[in-house]
Structure 1
């Protein structure tokens, strides 16, 4: 079974390993994750978003539905793996199993690490196109600082797509408030989003799909300003984020999808995160 360490972005759980069997090999019956393992009571810092990136002709309706089904099945598979890994890591003591906010945030970070690592390093039907690391420095007055400044930066990472600020801002605000209430200002936390993007290609007269993973960390300074708990009048902070551009290998997916479906059916994990539809403008 491969031991995956994950990418360095997940600093809060950098030392917690990911141990996975080959896809489709199954687990023992007692490996089925509980609702708690799947994150029912933990802060949700992960989102899956289905996006039509341009005007897709109506004759491709069935084609788009097929691609959406593939993305939703893959997402359920990722979530299930994340829940199983949380169960194992709680059992071996590398993740906490109490109900404190700090422990819930750590488990959420770890679930993000699991799904991110599988997609980037260990998913045969996903082709890795490129990675982009970026840093933006924010310098403004406190009165002019607002969350949409950050979501605007993220919007530019998705070609021809606008209107994502509401989704991202809600996640950011909720997480920032949790961190502040827990007074955990020294350790950054991650927000992770997977965009399933369906786009019409005029050259091939077909619809194709690709993925954009966007993750970014929330710093102590951001928490202070979001919570309005600082006396500083000037906002001067660094904002780091990472983008991974992936695409679907449909031939490989068609070969393995039945095994993926059987795996999900056998485990029958609840509390799978449902993709967001219809909230994205183009």
Structure 2
């Protein structure tokens, strides 16, 4: 394995994050903080408890996931799109690094930034809402798996997109609505039928449910099912990325 090549890509992408600190770190943290102020402090006391948990604390896992999904996709998609846009992707492809090492460098950097962002949001939430993490190892597991999975998904989007506008279509038109409808601000058990059953077709439900279980021991779906769905999406993304490099889709033309 070419560790020097992986490190070069990873270091370059991480350096870009520090150069755009306000956009990549400060902006999502500030946006999420506003949710904590409005829903956790201003409205939370009037909402009552959900499954024995204060509303402000209940929405923390959903808000972290909301930022994590968006930033993972954004970081990875822009990371691979810019070399395509500038033409430097051909230098990367001609370098003595394998497709696996290229993906490891780009996706690893995107996932690292998203994980750091998620942890920073959790620290910020402590300033506004009291919460607990009953299963910290499971919390980190879901945090890492989600960051890696959606960074891979963002990598696919970055290769598929042929202009800057397309980079935002799926995150804004698909991922954000699915997150809001996936139990970020409520328990799906509160929904009447048939909406409760239909919601189970939303893959984000399983991510938020598993992540929330790690905090409070309560979940909308079984923990094993949440973990299984996350791993399934991870494998699907890996399969698509592998197919892209095998065929050279929008990389060699």
TM bucket by the smaller chain? 0.3 to 0.5
Greater relative contact order (Cα < 8 A, sep 6+): 1
Q: Taking structure 2 as the reference length, what is the TM-score of the superposition?
A: 0.32
Q: Taking structure 1 as the reference length, what is the TM-score of the superposition?
A: 0.30
More helix per residue: 2
